[in-house]
Every structure is written in C-alpha cells, then in structure tokens.
Amino acid sequence: MDDVNGHEHDEHSPLLSNERSIITPNYEGVESQGTETFISDEPEGYVSHEEERHTVPQIEQTISHAIGESGEVSRHTGPTVTCRVCSATIVIEGKTRQHVVKCIHCNEATPIRAAPSGKKYVRCPCNCLLLCKASSNRIACPRTNCKRVITLGGSAPVGTAVRAPTGTCRVLCAHCQEIFMFNTLNVTVAKCPHCQKISSVGREYARNRAIFFVVCSLLFLIAALGLMIGTWHSAKSATFIYLIWLCVIAIALFFFFRFAYFIKLKTSTVISPL
C-alpha cells in the first residue's frame, strides 16, 4: 500500500521543480557537467536526468507538430495568387489591401490589385516590377545591375528594353519635383516631360551661358557708345546712322535679356547616372 501511495506521489510531482533540484543548465541551452547540483535527501520518485532527457523533447515535438499542422491548414485555406515570375503560390492572407506582394521564392514583386489612378505596372526584362505614370513613354530600371531604359511607345515595339546612351542621368525637375531622364552631354537646357518647363541641369551650364551673354552685351554696348560718339556730327546730315545706332543698342539689349534669363533660370538636380 505504501508503494502505491509512493507511486501516486511521484506521478503528481512537478517537472520544473525536479529540473531545478537536479540540474542547472547554462545560458546556451547546453547542460554543463560542472553545474550539476545533486540534492542528498531527494526522494526516489523524482524524475531522473535520463527521464528528463526523453520527456521534454516529446512535449516540444508535440507542440511544434501542432503549430506546423495549424500553419499548414492556414496556408491552404487562405487566399493565394500565382507569382508572375516563378509561378509559385503566394499566400496573400492579411495583404489584400496591398497593391503588390513579394514572392518568398524568387524575391520578385507580383501585383494583386490594379495600379493606382494614373499609374501603370511595367516589368523589366530583369523581372523588376516598376510603377510609372500611365502617360510615360520611357522609364529606366533602378537596379544597379540592369539600368535598362524601357521604351513603352513610339517607333520601337512596346516593352523594348535598350541600354541608355552614354551621359544619360536621372534628373529631378526644379519646377514639379518629378524625375525624368536627360543626357548631360547635350549642351542645352532640359525640358521636363511632366510640366513642360525649362531648367538647367546643373548650375555650371546656366552660369557659363550667363557669363557669355553678359560679355556680349557689354561689348555691343561699348560699340554702340563708340559709334554714337564717332558719328555724332555725321548723323545730323545722314539719318540712316540713327538706324545703325538702334540696331547695335538692340543687340546689346538682347544679350542682356539673355543674361538675365540664365541668371534666373532654375537648376534641376542630377540624381544618378544610368
């Protein structure tokens, strides 16, 4: 009878208290031989170190198996889409309000909703999914190992990807803050395709043009003054000399106005080369 009571007492003995009384694990989860602490008056019915080694993994295995089964059920019962790149199944449960989702197999984006108003999706040959304006004709891939310029309309077939010409850069418009592409090797001002306004790509171009026009304006102004002084008496008898004065002064004013235009011209910022 005493043996039966002893066994019942053993079955109701707490497992955690036995673990603390028998062995002290280190912080890495590995049992250190030097940290084992044995209690001399320990009852014989407590779970031994060998029994503990077999009992705990069974509990952990049961819990992990249950979690795995629940995850497997949710993975098959939730809404899914097919990846547009690798055709793998993507679970979109809890992501239905997003416009795109990322595939865990190929790490590429797949749209699950229509593009926002005024936008459209374009996929680069490198599988990068791009979002651009619906009116855009050319877009550039942002990936550093691609840098393709994709033509969406015009003479080239739709979706044709070509390498950008040398000197092509991404430029941030100084007027509308939109990004467009411009070849900085062209010695000219840039016209934004979004707002149709003119700006200088980099301050150097506008400064050089302003210096050129102000020098020309001063030269023609000096020439006009010299001409007026030299022909002052002759102009009284020859009225056409007044017309020459007006032409020279008009040219000087034209160059001055061009100088003022480039001084006030806004400067767009080069973001990065393609």
Confidence of residue 17 (pLDDT cuts 50, 70, 90): very low
Specify the higher pLDDT residue, 1 or 78.
Answer: 78
Q: Helix or strand or coil: residue 21? A: helix
Q: Are residues 193 and 266 in the same domain?
A: yes
Residue 41 near residue 77 (C-beta atoms within 8 A): no
> Tokens in use for 121?
């999706």
Q: Are residues 185 and 237 in the same domain?
A: yes
Q: Which of 86, 128, 132, 216 is catalytic?
A: 132
Query: Whose CA is closest to 142, among 132, 127, 128?
Result: 128
What is the average pLDDT score of the chain?
73
Confidence of residue 162 (pLDDT cuts 50, 70, 90): low
Q: Are residues 196 and 268 in the same domain?
A: yes
Residue 240's Cα: distance from chain center in Å?
66
> Cα–Cα distances in Å, from 67 out to 16, 60, 70, 166, 181?
23, 11, 5, 56, 52
pTM metric for this prediction: 0.44
pLDDT at 84: 87
pLDDT at 153: 64
Element (H, E) at 17: helix 15-22
Residue 109 near residue 95 (C-beta atoms within 8 A): no
How many domains is the chain partitioned into structurally? 4
- pLDDT tens figures, 3-16: 444 444 444 444 34
The single-letter code of the amino acid at 210 is: A
pLDDT at 56: 42
Distance (Å, whole) CA 201 – CA 189: 7
Is 132 an active-site residue? yes
Q: Are residues 140 and 91 in the same domain?
A: no
Q: Are residues 140 and 215 in the same domain?
A: no
Average pLDDT over residues 140-164: 69
Q: In sequence order, what are the residues at sequence separation of 6 or more whose Cβ sits closer than 8 angstroms to the Cβ of residue 182? A: 168, 169, 171, 190, 201, 268
The yes-or-no verdict on residue 103 having pLDDT over 50 is yes
Q: Are residues 183 and 269 in the same domain?
A: yes
Q: Are residues 272 and 173 in the same domain?
A: yes
- Which of the listed residues 52, 77, 102 is the one where a domain comes to its end? 77
Confidence of residue 74 (pLDDT cuts 50, 70, 90): very low
> Tokens in use for 176?
């509308």
Vertex 171 angle, CA 188 and 197, to 5°: 60
Q: Are residues 266 and 191 in the same domain?
A: yes
Average pLDDT over residues 122-133: 88
Specify the higher pLDDT residue, 249 or 73.
Answer: 249
The yes-or-no verdict on residue 140 having pLDDT over 90 is no
Q: Are residues 147 and 157 in the same domain?
A: yes
Specify the higher pLDDT residue, 52 or 165.
Answer: 165
Looking at the chain, the whole-number percentage of residues with pLDDT higher than 70 is 67
The yes-or-no verdict on residue 99 having pLDDT over 50 is yes
pLDDT at 50: 43
- pLDDT tens figures, 209-267: 999 999 999 999 999 999 888 888 887 788 788 899 999 999 999 999 999 999 999 99
Q: Are residues 242 and 176 in the same domain?
A: yes
State which residues form the domain around 40.
Answer: 2-77
Confidence of residue 199 (pLDDT cuts 50, 70, 90): very high
pLDDT at 164: 64
Its sign, for the CA torsion 107, 113, 116, 120, is positive
Q: Are residues 10 and 72 in the same domain?
A: yes
pLDDT at 61: 46
Q: Are residues 204 and 262 in the same domain?
A: yes
